[in-house]
A and B are shown apart, each in its own frame.
Chain A
Amino acid sequence: MTEKYNKPDARGHFGVYGGIFVAETLMPAITELNTAYQHYMKDAEFIAELDKDMQHYVGRPSPLYHAERWTKELGGAQIYLKREDLNHTGSHKINNTVGQALLAKRMGKTRIIAETGAGQHGVATATVAARLGLECVIYMGAVDVARQSLNVYRMKLLGATVVAVESGSKTLKDALNEALRDWVTNIDDTFYIIGTVAGPHPYPAMVRDFQAILGREAKAQCLTQAGKLPNALVACVGGGSNAMGLFYPFIDDADVKLIGVEAAGDGIETGRHSAPLCAGRPGVLHGNRTYLMSDDDGEIIETHSISAGLDYPGVGPEHAWLKDSGRAQYVNITDDEALGGFYALTRMEGIIPALESSHAMAYVMKLAPTMKSDEIIIVNLSGRGDKDMQTMAKREGIEL
C-alpha cells in the first residue's frame, strides 16, 4: 500500500460498508456521540486518564507469550499468544468499556446500557459502571441468560440490572435490538456502550480505536522479542472487535497476513453457522451496511455457534471492507474443530482459552504446520475459558 490507511470517511464509510442507518429518533444522539468522540480522542487529558486506567485498572500491557511447546508440537511457525485473557474481567472487552465509560462520564451521562451475548461485554460494562457509580442495564437474550448463568450472576453482583430479552431468536441480535429501543426512549441521560466494531458510525471506528491498544502492544512486543514483524495475525471474528484491535496497527504492513476466523458451527454446508463473511451477503442491520446472514427476502437468519460470543448474524463493516479489498482473509472453524483448539492449548500450554478464542487456536493448528520455523504467527487469545466451564463440563457429561 502506498497511501496510509485512513478509513472510515467522515460519515463512517469503509468503502460501501459502514455508515449510519438508524431511525431519525437516534440521529441527535449519534451526532452528539460522534462530536464527543472526535473531540476527546484528541484531548490530552482524556488520553492520559485512559492510559492510566489501561495500565492500573485493566492491567496492561498484556504479555505477548511465545508458546514454545505448542510451536514444537505443531512443527512450523513460531506461535505467539497475545494474552488478552489476562486482562481484568478476563477478555479484551474491558479495553473498550473503559474507554466508552470515560467518554460517557465526560458527556455527563448517568446511565449506561449495553447488549451482551456470552456475557463478557456485559460483565466488562457492569464493571466500569460500578467503578464510576453509574446506573447500568444489560440486555441479554433469554437463551444466552440460560446458557451463561455464571456471567449473569457476575453482572448482578456488580450492581447491574440484567434484562432477559424474549423477542425474536432471544440471542445477541435481539439483545441489540432491545438496547437500541432503550436508547431511543432514554436518550437524554443514557450512554449505549456497544461491545463490538459494529453499529452506526462512530461505533465501528471508536471501538476499534479503543481496542487498537492490543495491536500496538503486540507489534512493539514482537519487534522486541523476535526482532521483526510477524508473518500472520490470527483472531476470531464474531462482531470482530478483538480481530480489529489486533489488525488495525498492521494494515499498512502489507507483508503481514491478516486472518479472521469465523464460527462455522455445525459446518457452513449445514446452514447452521455464524459466518457472514464466509457465507453471507451484504445488507443493512443494526445501523451499518456489512455482510449479514439473511435470506432471499432480507429477513435475518438465526445463527449457530458453540460460543455465544460469536453467535451473531452480522460483522463489523471494516471487516467487510478488508475482505472485499483483499487485505484480510476470512476462514471458518466448526464447533468440533474449536473444541480441538480448546483442548490443545489447555494441555500444551496450561492456558484455558475462551470458546471464542478457541476458534482462532484451531485455525493456528492448521496454519502453523504449513509455515517455516523462522516465520511468526501472532494469535489473539481474546479471553479466558473460565466462563465456559459449565458448557464444557456438560459436553463431557459432568455435573459441576
Chain B
Amino acid sequence: MSRLAGLFAELAQKNRKALIPFVTAGDPNPEFTVPLMHAMVGAGVDIIELGVPFSDPMADGPVIQRASERALAHHQSLRTTLAIAKEFRKTNGHTPIVIMGYLNPVEIMGYEKFADAVQAAGVDGVLTVDLPPEEAEECAELLKARDVDPIFLLAPNSTPERVRIMDAIGSGYIYYVSLKGVTGAGHLNSAEVETKLAEIRANTKLPLAVGFGVKDAETAKIIGNLGDGVVVGSALIKEIEANLHNPAQAKTAIIELLTSMRQAMDN
C-alpha cells in the first residue's frame, strides 16, 4: 500500500479530513522550504504538496506564478525540488509528499529517470497539471510500478465519463478543482461543490481532495465537511509574498493560518 493510500485509510477510521498545504519548492529561497515543511507537519497537516517551479505555469494565477519566478531566480528546478523532498525525508518517514508541476521538465529528464528519481527522493505522489490521462499511460505505469501514485485533476465541468477515466488511471487521491479558472481565483460556492462531489463519488472510490478557493479557517471547514482533504495554496504563498524581507515572519504566518484551519476542520 502506498503511503497516501495508508494515510487516507487511517484518516477515514478517525473521521478526520486531510489538510494539504501547497508551497512552491524553493520560494522565496532554497533554504526556506525544508524547515517550513517540518513546521507545517507540526501544525497538523497530513500531506504536503510541493510545487515544482516552471517558467510557464499556464494553469496558475498570479500568486503562484510569482512564487515560481522567485524560485527560478534561485535556479530552482525539478531536480532541486526532489532534493528538498529527500532532505525532508531524512527526519520524517510518514508524511506523504506530492509534487505538482508541469510536464516539460519531466519530458526533458525522461519518464523512467523521473520515476526513479521520484522514488529515490521518497515522494509519494505526482500531479502533472498539463498531462491529462489520455497522454499519461506510460508515465503513470512507471510511477505505479514504484509505489508512487499518479494524481489527476477533476474540474467542475468534467463529465462522468472523465471521472471514470481518472478512476481507472489515477491512484492516491483525486484533486478536485472547485472553481473554473486558475489557482487563487474567485469565490467558493459550497452547494455547487457538494453536488459535484456526490456526482464524482458515484464513479470513483478514490479520496477527493478539494482545492482552489480555500483561503481561511472558515472555507477550510466548509470544504473539510464535503471532501476527504482540503488543499490550500495561494493563501499560504501570499504570506510569503507579504514578508519577502522577513521569511521567518512568513513562516510564522503560514503556521498560524494552518493551525487555525486544522482547528476549524477538527471541531
On A, residues with C-beta under 8 Å from B are: 11, 19-25, 27-28, 167-168, 173-174, 177, 180-181, 184-185, 187, 281-287, 289, 292, 294, 296-300
Q: Which of B176-184, B223-231, B234-242 faces chain A? A: B176-184
Q: Do residues B135 and A21 form an inter-chain contact, with CB atoms below 8 A?
A: yes
How far does the alpha carbon of A11 sit from the alpha carbon of B135 in the complex, in Å? 10
Contact indicator A283/B154 (Cβ below 8 Å): no
Chain A residues, CB < 8 A from B158: 24, 27-28
Q: Do A283 and B107 touch (CB < 8 A)?
A: yes
Contact B62 A23 (CB under 8 A): no
Interface check B173, CB cutoff 8 A = no
**B130 contacts which chain A residues (CB < 8 A)?**
21-23, 284, 287
Q: Is B131's beta carbon under 8 Å from chain A?
A: yes
In the complex, A168 Cα to B106 Cα: how many Å?
20
Can you offer 7 A-B residue contacts whose CB atoms are under 8 A?
A24-B152, A24-B162, A25-B181, A28-B157, A167-B65, A184-B182, A300-B56
- Selected contact of B104 from candidates A25, A174, A177, A285, CB within 8 Å: A285
Q: Closest residue of chain A to B176, judged by CB?
A: A24
B77-116 vs A, CB cutoff 8 Å, 1 = contact: the mask equals: 1110000000000000000000000111111110000000
- B198 at interface (Cβ–Cβ under 8 A)? no
Contacts of A187 in B (CB 8 A): 157, 180
Closest CB in chain B relative to A289 CB, distance in Å: 7
Cα of A185 to Cα of B129 in the assembled complex, Å:
16
Q: How far is the CA of A292 from the CA of B108 in the complex (A)?
A: 10
For the complex formed, measure the closest distance between the CB of B88 and the CB atoms of chain A, giving whole angstroms: 20
Q: How far is B129's CA from A20's CA once the two chains are assembled, in angstroms?
A: 12
**Taking beta carbons and an 8 Å cutoff, which residues of B are in contact with A?**
53-59, 61-62, 65, 69, 72, 77-79, 102-109, 129-132, 134-135, 152-155, 157-159, 162, 177, 180-182, 185
- The reply to whether A297 and B103 contact each other, CB–CB distance below 8 Å, is no
**B106 contacts across to A, CB distance below 8 A:** 298
Cross-chain contact A24 with B103 (CB below 8 angstroms) = no
Q: Are A20 and B132 in contact (CB under 8 A)?
A: yes
Q: Are B152 and A298 in contact (CB under 8 A)?
A: no
Residue of B nearest to A21 (CB): B130
- The distance in angstroms between the C-alpha atoms of A289 and B111, with both chains bound, is 14
How far is the CB of B63 from the nearest CB of chain A, in Å?
12
B157 / chain A contacts, CB cutoff of 8 Å: 25, 28, 187
Contacts of A296 in B (CB 8 A): 108
Contact of A25 among B105, B107, B134, B155 (CB under 8 A): B155
A344 to B182, CA, bound (A): 48
Contact A298 to B129, CB < 8 A, known contacts A23-B59, A25-B157, A187-B180 = no
Of B56, B59, B103, most buried by chain A (CB within 10 Å of CB) is B56
Q: Which residues of chain B are near A181, meaning CB under 8 Å?
A: 58-59, 61, 181-182
- Pairwise interchain contact B180-A299, C-beta atoms closer than 8 A: no
Establish whether residues B180 and A25, one from each chain, have CB atoms under 8 Å apart when the complex forms. yes
The CB with the most chain B CB atoms within 10 A, among A11, A177, A187, is that of: A177
Q: Which residues of A contact B162 (CB under 8 A)?
A: 24, 27
Q: Are A300 and B104 in contact (CB under 8 A)?
A: yes
Beta-carbon nearest neighbor of B158 in chain A: A24
Q: Are A27 and B132 in contact (CB under 8 A)?
A: yes
Given the known interface contacts A22-B132, A297-B77, the answer about A180 and B105 at a Cβ–Cβ threshold of 8 Å is: no
Q: How far is the CA of A95 from the CA of B130 in the complex (A)?
A: 29
| One of A184, A285, A300 near B180 (C-beta < 8 A) | A184
Q: Which residues of B contact A168 (CB under 8 A)?
A: 55-56, 65, 69
Nearest chain A CB to B235 CB, angstrom units: 19
Q: Please report the C-alpha to C-alpha distance between residue A179 and residue B233 in the assembled complex, in whole angstroms.
A: 22
B153: A residues at CB distance < 8 A: 23-25
Set of chain B residues within 8 Å of A298, measured between Cβ atoms: 54, 77-78, 104-109
Given contacts A21-B130, A180-B58, could you give 20 more A-B pairs where the C-beta distance is less than 8 Å? A11-B134, A19-B134, A20-B134, A23-B153, A23-B155, A24-B177, A25-B177, A27-B158, A28-B155, A168-B65, A174-B56, A185-B180, A283-B107, A284-B107, A286-B58, A289-B107, A297-B78, A297-B79, A298-B106, A298-B108
Whole-angstrom distance between the alpha carbons of A284 and B132 in the complex?
A: 13
* Nearest-Cβ distance from residue A228 to partner chain B, whole angstroms: 43
CB B21 to nearest CB in A, in angstroms, measures 21
